[in-house]
Structure 1
């Protein structure tokens, strides 16, 4: 494990980003297929938005071991996407989110990464809950949020994104 590695699952390594890895994020969030459900406008992120996001994720990782993390396959070190905790709203509630390159969809990587992060969260933090949310049209992402054990709370707006389903994850009873 490198010093940026947060956790490993059976097939994946989740680690923090470095500034010199921005091209990977440009490829991921610059892809119209990937970006379709990530924002209310459904367009790829601008390079400025991605630069800001990466700087924020790096700072979150340094401060709290959170942030959207790089997800690579153990078998060959190939980057498949990102998964991790952002911070939502003025209360700064941890929010799990993920995005994969389309060529890796359908392999169970998102659920594996998100499950590993959920378990890490309960083991390594003392927080009592976190959120998950996805565009109400994105059934694949919503399926992951449900399998992860989230309880649907409502459908509403998230920043510039209307029609988002919100899920809450509460710390399991001891």
Structure 2
């Protein structure tokens, strides 16, 4: 059966443009995944593993109708990170995730991008909920989940038994 590739959306927020990943985004992605900052996501990863994860983020679009978007600053066009909805055999539920590059933490970009993608998901994918899997040592991501109104769900299934699971309110 042929696969229909959905249109990958471009979303705009007050400060960000959320757009389709491109090959040129991989070096910054790979650098983050090779660093100790990726420990909460199972890393650090070598280039081969990072490439597989990057491709997964894109492959989710034709497989599930959602996936990853890069976060560009409206003012400069600089890519500051990624936000996405993950799914597949490694994710018990659809996961809303985010990551920021370099010194871009602490500016609210992850919260802004995740709120926009979650709203898009509510309009486009229907009423199913989203969760965020967060390493308990990642206080910045815990704060993002809380700012988004997500609440801990200790009974939720998880890939990593140590992860915290935050359940997002259904946005329609």
Q: Is the 8 A contact 1:30 1:45 kept in 2?
A: yes
Q: Is the 8 A contact 2:18 2:71 kept in 1?
A: yes
Q: What TM-score results when the alignment is normalised by the length of structure 2?
A: 0.84
Deviation, 1:68, is 2.4
Quick one: which of 18, 25, 30 aligns to 1:26?
30
Aligned 1:1-20 pairs, distance under 5 A? 4-20=8-24
C-alpha separation in 2, matches of 1:162 and 1:36: 15
Q: What TM-score results when the alignment is normalised by the length of structure 1?
A: 0.83
Q: Is the 8 A contact 2:82 2:99 kept in 1?
A: yes
Deviation, 1:91, is 7.5
Aligned 1:1-174 pairs, distance under 5 A? 4-32=8-36, 34-39=37-42, 43-87=43-87, 89=89, 93-154=93-154, 158-159=158-159, 161-172=160-171
Q: Is the 8 A contact 2:33 2:45 kept in 1?
A: yes
Unaligned runs of 5+ residues in structure 1 are: none
Runs of 4+ aligned structure 1 residues displaced above 6 Å come to none
C-alpha separation in 1, matches of 2:74 and 2:89: 34
Structure with greater proportional strand content = 1
C-alpha separation in 1, matches of 2:167 and 2:151: 5
Unaligned runs of 5+ residues in structure 2 are: 1-6
Go from structure 1 to structure 2 and tell me whether the alpha carbon gap of 1:155 and 1:37 turns closer, same or farther (over 3 Å shift). Answer: farther
Q: Secondary structure at the match of 1:53?
A: helix
Q: CA RMSD in A?
A: 2.4
C-alpha separation in 1, matches of 2:107 and 2:85: 21
